[in-house]
Structure 1
Amino acid sequence: MNDLPTVLAAGLGAAVAFGAGDFSGGLATKRDPVVRVVALAHLLSLTLFVVLALLTGEAVPGPADLAWGALAGVGGVVGLAALYRGLALGPMGTVAATSAVLAAALPVVVSVLLGGQLGTGQRVGIVLALLGVTLLSRDQAQGRGGLGLAVLAGLGFGAFFVLLGQTQAGSVFWPLVMARLVSAGVMLPLAVRGPGLRPHATGPIVLSSLLDALGNVLFVVAAQTGRLAEASVLSNVYPAFTVLLALVMLRERLRGDQWWGLAATLLAVPLIAAHL
């Protein structure tokens, strides 16, 4: 189906959830190691997806949908590992921007290669969204230390979105369970090292897990309408919401180019949605 309200509401809902989840996760990583934050968040969301699948009575899908979910988990783990290593090498803004743009662009390319059609307004909107994400995430510092890893991270995250988008309508929670089984299985052994969990990090970790889980569910719903390209781009404007939360909650200030990025991102949404 190609349902405009579903694509728009679910895609933007995913962006809000991902953006707020990243904001909460960022607060958590100020209090506890990032590997443990991600591992615990994924373990919590795995539990949540299993409970939701059972409560909703969702039928266990066929091997193909479960395999798509597991493969998506591999893409997600590759993306996370490359992103965090790239952020360590820096510059952080350049690494974050490169990975975010590629994560949004790869599903668009795949969708077009598979026969998807984009109108002129949608093409302009997609370009504006990618430009907006770049400006929002860009650091004034320049460098190439983590650029290769940033490219790998973007491809990993983009693959995550593409692979989840291949699942059949109605298969929402079980493919996500498979994805989280893979990612949590990889991250948990790394997370048990070091000191114990700091209690004041628990709240942000739980919140980031819930929001990330919500974002994944909404993305799957949007992508299963048959609009993978639009669903991916809409969900990947999440940096705009992270920035807005930082403005309101932390009183952070934006540079001039970031204001332009925010404007471009917000303008992109109606252009992408106009011809859905």
Structure 2
Amino acid sequence: MITILALGAALAYGVADFLGGTVTRYSSTLKALFWCVPAGLAVLAASALLTGRTPTSASLAWGFAAGIAGGTGLLAFYRALARGPMSVVAPVSALASALLPIAVGVARGERLDATVLTGVLICLVAIALVSMEKSDGPSERSRGVLDSGPLMAGVSGVCFGLFFVLVKAAGTDGGLWPLVAARAGNLAVVALALAVVLARGGAPGARVSGRRLIGLALLSGALDASANVLYYLAVNSGLLSLAAVLTSLYPAITVLLARIAYSERLRSVQRVGLALAATGVTLVTVG
């Protein structure tokens, strides 16, 4: 069951990222997120109300902390893309987000049998390979080491990994309310970032307008929220390390959708990554 739920989360995250990326082609990251995040919040709030569970202060606190971590990771990731080539940024972020939950899980005493462990290791390699893309051109050079692309990519990955860990820590006592709190944390980070950009006189990009773009943004937010629910169910039904690694395969879905929708050619390294992902998932499933 954990395998099905985690792979379902990867599928939903991958489609959500693809749709969100489509919106940012015509607008900006912050303006797209300002549509996506509230849409996800509405979906999660409605779902939490339907479950009839009562939120607890502890679960809400863990959830909000997870949302702050996830929102910060997203902003750090896009900052990294402005400072370094995607071929470096994406794999570093993806690997960091998967390795942190594994480390936490092992520290808590989680143990995987040989077949599943082999599958997890293969999946880690697949995540790195499938995330590798060519740089669109010379990247902007930062003035300091603390703002370098690879370092910011690592920060984003650690933040995403913290999201995975903190969602697990929220437990199930509060039903889906920890995810509502997490989405509120996302919204707080996005709102703060947008306020900072506006205060500095920056132009956060074109307005998201038109039925198509608004629809894609709302659908992206709804799917991302659904992915949160699937991961939440997965991580609370099994091992943190396994749920996080399988969920982190979502870049493969985004890459495949880009290939179908925009006829983007898959690089040889990405083809190898997809093959390894299938192999790793198979080993995890049979194990």
- CA-CA distance at 1:201 after TM superposition: 2.0
Is the contact between residue 103 and residue 236 of structure 1 (CA under 8 Å) also seen in structure 2? yes
- Contact map agreement 1:10 1:218 (CA 8 A) in 2: yes
Q: Which residue of 2 aligns with 1:127?
A: 121
Partner of 1:57: 52
How far the C-alpha of 1:151 sits from its partner, in A, is 0.4
Matched, 1:151 2:154: yes
The answer to whether the 8 Å contact 2:35/2:214 transfers is: no
Amino acid at match of 2:249: V
Q: 1:172, CA displacement in angstroms?
A: 4.2
Rounded to whole Å, the distance in 2 between the matches of 1:68 and 1:46 is: 16
Tell me, yes or no, if structure 1 residue 44 matches structure 2 residue 39.
Answer: yes
Cα offset for 1:189?
4.5
The answer on whether the counterparts of 1:167 and 1:224 sit within 8 Å (CA) in structure 2 is no
Q: Does 1:212 align with 2:215?
A: no
CA–CA separation in structure 1 for the residues paired with 2:174 and 2:245: 21
Q: Normalization by structure 1: what TM-score?
A: 0.91
Task: Say whether the 8 Å CA contact 2:70–2:160 is kept in structure 1.
Answer: yes
Distance 1:28 1:140 in 2: 21
Distance in 1 (CA, whole Å) between partners of 2:9 and 2:45 is: 20
In 1: Cα distance, 2:116 partner to 2:238 partner: 15
1:229 is displaced (CA, Å) by: 0.9
Report SS of the residue matched to 2:170.
coil
State the alpha-carbon separation in 2 of the partners of residues 253 and 139 from structure 1: 10
Query: 1:40–1:188: 8 Å Cα contact kept in structure 2?
Result: no
What does 1:182-193 align with in structure 2 at a 5 Å threshold?
182-191=185-194, 193=198
Distance 1:264 1:94 in 2: 19
Whole-angstrom distance in 2 between the partners of 1:55 and 1:265: 35
Post-superposition offset of 1:36 = 1.4
SS at match of 1:197: coil
For residues 38 and 103 of structure 1, the distance between their equivalents in structure 2, rounded to whole angstroms, comes to 20
Aligned equivalents of 1:156, 1:189: Cα separation in 2:
17
Which residue of 1 is the match for residue 208 of structure 2? Answer: 197
Question: What is the CA–CA distance in structure 2 between the aligned matches of 1:148 and 1:190, rounded to whole Å?
Answer: 20
SS of the counterpart of 1:166? Answer: helix
Displacement of 1:138 in angstroms is: 1.3
Partner of 2:144: none
Deviation at 1:220, TM superposition (A): 0.2
| Structure 2: 5+ residue stretches without partners | 142-147
Alignment-derived partner of residue 12 in structure 2: 17
Taking a change above 3 Å as real, the CA distance of residues 267 and 170 of structure 1, as seen in their structure-2 partners, is farther
Deviation at 1:273, TM superposition (A): 2.8
How far 1:250 sits from its partner (Å)? 1.9
SS in 2 for 1:165: helix
Partner of 1:82: 76
Q: Tell me how far 1:146 sits from its aligned partner.
A: 0.2
Question: Residue 178 of structure 1 corresponds to which residue in structure 2?
Answer: 181
Offset of residue 238 of structure 1: 0.7
Q: CA deviation at 1:265?
A: 0.9
Letter in 2 for 1:239: P
Give the TM-score of the pair, scaled to structure 2.
0.88
Distance 1:172 1:99, change over 3 A: farther
The residue aligned with 1:96 is: 90
- TM-superposed deviation, 1:178: 0.8
Check the 8 A contact 2:31/2:207 in 1, yes or no: no
Question: How big is the alpha-carbon RMSD for the aligned residues of Structure 1 and Structure 2?
Answer: 1.9
Residue 226, structure 1, aligned to residue 238, structure 2:
yes
Aligned counterparts of 2:256 and 2:61: Cα–Cα separation in 1: 37
